[in-house]
Amino acid sequence: MTATIALEFGSGVFDALLGSSVRAIVLALATWLVLRSVGPRRPAVQHGAWTAVLLGMLLLLLPGLVGSGSGLSPGVALESAIPVFETPLIAQAESLTHSSAGMPASNWRGICGLLFVFGTVVLLARHLIARCRVRRLLRQAESLEWPALESLARVSLRAAPGRKPPRLLAIQGAGGPFAYGALRPAIVLPGEWSNWSLKKLEAVLLHELTHVFRRDGIVEALAAVVASVFWFHPLSYMLKRRLRVLAEAACDDHAVLVSGDREGYAQALLEIARDWRGIRTLPITSMARGVSLGGRIERILGKTRLESGLLSRAVGSCVVAVVLVATLDSLSKRSVYG
């Protein structure tokens, strides 16, 4: 009986994943066409749009998962609720034998659904272990005091007057600078930061501060969850990579826009990337972890007009609202017809 319930649950999961996977492709194509039709946009706007697609993938999946938990057939639900202790053991064995013999061939959907769930659990556990590694690393950190950090955050990054800048930490052997955390964000510098020039230090702090105020750590965690749930779907990995590229480009643009020194920032970026010795599997946002380093340098030193990497609340709300309204509309239609 437990096997039957598990297979029915797996079938529901399989159907939910299949339906949401197809709808996610449609949603991504629609977003791509919109971004393509409106012409070149700054990376922050594109990042907001693809983040909305990421949220949409999860929203498309939720109704199907809820239905898989409550959609067990009445016969299975009733039989699972009836005590079987008074039934003779031989009768129970014969019942199980007959039920397994008459098991429909479509149970491959249930098996696939359970395999998908197993893969998701493994990948989520792996992500949690990686985050625990970062937390252990932060426990070794030394707190730094740099008075210019608050003014840099307030003036250059338009931080709210009452909002405190992130913690500034230093870790021997950190391998490179990175930002981490959502509720209590921190910027971590390697032990050799004291040997850096002031220009290099400001370039690094501007980049990592932009990550913090853009809340890229939250988006990175969300992308990891989506990639764990849709581990079989190429779109989840494409979104994860695309969001990382756009986040780095947005932070580069903002740091150069604030500093006004393209060559100095490009030199700092090359040095950080050259000296990076960190572990790339850790869930952190780092100046040196961005992909396409050559493209980033070319963009910084080129004639591209750089704009703020901070997405305004109005534009961000509109981008998210438009995509999520379309997603919720498809969910309502699914609830009516399915």
What digits encode the pLDDT tens for the residues 36-45? 887 667 888 8
DSSP state of 64: H
Q: How confident is the model at residue 79 (pLDDT cuts 50, 70, 90)?
A: very low
pLDDT in tens, 251-300: 998 888 888 889 999 999 988 888 877 666 677 777 776 567 888 888 88
Beta bridge partners of 142: 170
- pLDDT score of 76: 42
Mean pLDDT (the chain) is 78
From CA 239, how far away is CA 220, in angstroms rounded? Answer: 11
- pLDDT score of 119: 93
- pLDDT score of 290: 58
Q: What is the value of pTM for the model shown?
A: 0.80
From CA 28, how far away is CA 332, in angstroms rounded? Answer: 19
Element (H, E) at 32: helix 2-37
From CA 18, how far away is CA 107, in angstroms rounded? Answer: 15
204, 268 Cβ separation under 8 angstroms: yes
Residue linked to tokens 């150069």:
256
- pLDDT score of 95: 46
120, 227 Cβ separation under 8 angstroms: no
| CA 164 remoteness from chain centre | 25
Which of 109-113, 145-149, 226-230, 309-313 comes out lowest in average pLDDT?
Answer: 309-313
Residue 224 clears pLDDT 90, i.e. is over it: yes
pLDDT in tens, 57-74: 888 888 777 765 555 444
